[in-house]
Structure 1
Amino acid sequence: MVTMKDVGKAAGVSAMTVSNVLRGNDNVAPDTARRVREAADRLHYRLNTTSLSARSLRVNTSRKASGSRTIGLAIFELDRPYPAQLASLISQTAEERGYQTVVQQTRIDEHNERSIIERMSNQFCDGLIFSSSRLSADEIEQLSNHRPTVLLDDDRPQQDIDTILTPSESGSQAAIEYLYSQGARRIGIVGGNPDERTDVPLLETYHDARHRRLLGCRRAFHRLGLTWSEDRIITTAWGDVDARRAIHEQEAKVRDCDALYCMTDTIAFGVLRGLHDIGVRVPEDMRVMSFDGIAMGALTVPALTTVAVDIELIATQAVDLLIRRIDDEPNLGRQRITVGYHIERRESA
């Protein structure tokens, strides 16, 4: 039996593109659409429209009536470099696919999240991309009127919602191991919370990025035979101003370290300034590295060594997966995708 995947292979495109062409969507280049139709004719493939779900038919009818082709993006913050860069890439990718993007920020607040989902669902958004949420999958489904949804960096064991994850645990483990390879033995962690227990069994029960990054650090310490010390956790909110203040206020802790791992690049920006303020040289006196890989990290002085996540891939995977859900691609099981990373070695470590 010939499938969409077979047609896509013959035409040199994805199954999603085949679905778009054969369902009459107009966001495919004419030459590509022609190749798909010719391949379908050669293989005697015909779309079985009777198998389309009622939900798909309602979505397509609503989309045509409203002229929508709109994706809703709810992201935790827009005034920080990482989410701002991610939002820009998602909007750009959606535009390339023929969709517009409505962007809102949640501030990781349940009330805001509920309100934003309801508003976006009432604005003829065809689907939602939602950053790590405090809401359950069932509540998201209900508030969105069962519109297609993709979650970003929410590691909870969701049963019905697709998820794109950053490599928080493996990336953080790699960061600690990298600092160790550079000679660091008293590694501090900036962005954790020493008031919480950080033993591995407890950390394994959490699903947010902060706890998963801490878990990666703990596992690296264990693997390397390093002593884990709560005294080397520099607590701070995940912002540059907060991180700079934390360096000032926790200077004794900082000076007990020979390297600092910052849980985000934004934290690292504040740390670099804070270390300069107290006369600690980077990397001569203190190695510094972080997690994210945003473009701004190449512009700091010194340039920031970081666990560089494939942010473009997060955007592409999220948008393309959501469009596949909007088009109700058959036989598409729930997706849980963790993007890759590499160590971007620069001047700070």
Structure 2
Amino acid sequence: MAGPPRLSDGDELSGRATILDVAAAAGVSRQTVTRAMNGMAGISVATKQRVLSAAEALYYRPSRFGRGLVLGGEQQLGLIVDDLRNPYSPELAAAVVRVAAARGWNVMLADVALSGDADRMVLALGAQTDAVIGYFGARAAEWIGLLGSVPVVELDPAGALTRGAVQLDRTEAIDAVVAHLVAVGVRAPIVLDAGRPVGRTARAARMVEAFATNGIDAHVVSADERTAESAAEATLRILAAGAPHDAILAFNDLMALGVLAACGAAGVEVPEDVRVVGVDGLPVGTLVTPTLTTLAVDLDEVATHALELAVAMIDGSAPRSGAAVQRTVRHRLLLRASA
């Protein structure tokens, strides 16, 4: 009889391992696997380690339902966001809940920006869910390591991919808005970047590149934080400096709202004196005056791709990493009054 599937270096398990696979690989009974995985007494340290090593090699994860961590048969999806004070995060969460509910999934949310102990929150989320999706940022490697065998789908990953991912591609939308701005006479644009310790964000660099392709130098200014307040302060400094500027492209919509507020306070007319652009496509952009031009993303599409990838990773129809568990969602230009 053939043994359970085994992994060589760099290989991924194509099917989801069972407790019987782990038992066969470790040369023990099913009951012994249960004891080892749940930290129960009655087995030696060496046997426990052999079982845990086999489980790790097979990407085995015991059922939450078997451990009695939830009631009923609903599957649980973990969602990591980086700041609920940014309207983008609640909009994303609402989209994930809508898509998950249609498939009979529940959603558990963790805000790592507002948590006093983000590591503990990520670890707890992984223990209580069947898969985790969301924004991992610069700590992706650490948190994916904490999640162990839990299927993970990163949203808009910043670094090298080690699990599933939904990429957000702004390239075409940035090219479109830059082409529009150049066509209407913009010659001294400013890219208002998000605060970061070193260098520009990839988003700001792409905007600068798009202007350069059109023969225009865009000046980059960094706000201290990705907030409306910080963006407003940075905008007031820009206006006070007196340098020529006829467009401000903000890192996100929240910062763009801060730009609009600062322009209003300084008596600068938008779009007559300066054109303003955001990124995200938040509904609040239609409620301000002038309405906000933005590079929008369909969050329902993002949520759908993320959940589909998570399900495929769980049921074994897709590997735990690689091209098969990557999707791309593209932004689109929504041209409104501010530009």
Of residues 220, 226, 229, the one that matches 1:238 is: 226
Q: How does 1:17-166 map to 2 (within 5 A)?
A: 55=59, 58-59=62-63, 62=66, 66=70, 67=72, 68-107=74-113, 112-123=117-128, 125-137=129-141, 139-158=142-161, 160-166=162-168
Amino acid at match of 2:336: R
Amino acid at match of 1:166: L
Computing the radius of gyration from Cα coordinates, the structure with the larger value is 2
Counterpart secondary structure, 1:339: strand
Match in the other structure for 1:181: 183
Amino acid at match of 2:334: E
Contact 1:176–1:220 (Cα < 8 Å) also in 2: yes
- Alpha carbons of structure 1 residues 330 and 216: separation in structure 2 relative to 1, 3 Å: closer
Contact 2:281–2:297 (Cα < 8 Å) also in 1: yes
272-281 or 64-73, which deviates more = 64-73
CA–CA separation in structure 2 for the residues paired with 1:165 and 1:79: 23
Contact 2:110–2:122 (Cα < 8 Å) also in 1: no
The TM-score, its normalising length taken from structure 2, stands at 0.74
The TM-score, its normalising length taken from structure 1, stands at 0.72
RMSD: 2.8
Amino acid at match of 1:58: P
Match in the other structure for 1:276: 264
Amino acid at match of 1:92: R
Deviation (angstroms), 1:143: 1.3
Does 2:250 correspond to 1:262?
A: yes
- Alpha carbons of structure 1 residues 310 and 254: separation in structure 2 relative to 1, 3 Å: farther
Counterpart secondary structure, 2:150: coil
Match in the other structure for 1:315: 303
- Alpha carbons of structure 1 residues 75 and 315: separation in structure 2 relative to 1, 3 Å: same
Match in the other structure for 2:18: none
Give ranges in structure 1 of 5+ residues lacking alignment. 1-52, 199-210
Contact 2:174–2:207 (Cα < 8 Å) also in 1: yes
CA–CA separation in structure 1 for the residues paired with 2:290 and 2:202: 28
- Alpha carbons of structure 1 residues 102 and 61: separation in structure 2 relative to 1, 3 Å: closer
Match in the other structure for 1:10: none
Deviation (angstroms), 1:58: 3.2
Q: How does 1:189-338 map to 2 (within 5 A)?
A: 189-192=191-194, 196-197=198-199, 211-230=201-220, 233=221, 235-253=223-241, 256-330=244-318, 334=322, 335-338=325-328
Match in the other structure for 2:335: 345
Deviation (angstroms), 1:136: 4.4
Deviation (angstroms), 1:289: 1.1
Contact 2:253–2:285 (Cα < 8 Å) also in 1: yes
Contact 2:246–2:274 (Cα < 8 Å) also in 1: yes
CA–CA separation in structure 2 for the residues paired with 1:297 and 1:273: 13
Deviation (angstroms), 1:234: 5.1
Amino acid at match of 1:346: R
Percent identity, aligned pairs only, is: 25
Amino acid at match of 1:117: V
Contact 1:72–1:102 (Cα < 8 Å) also in 2: yes
Tell me the number of residue pairs that the alignment of Structure 1 and Structure 2 aligns.
280
CA–CA separation in structure 1 for the residues paired with 2:241 and 2:81: 33
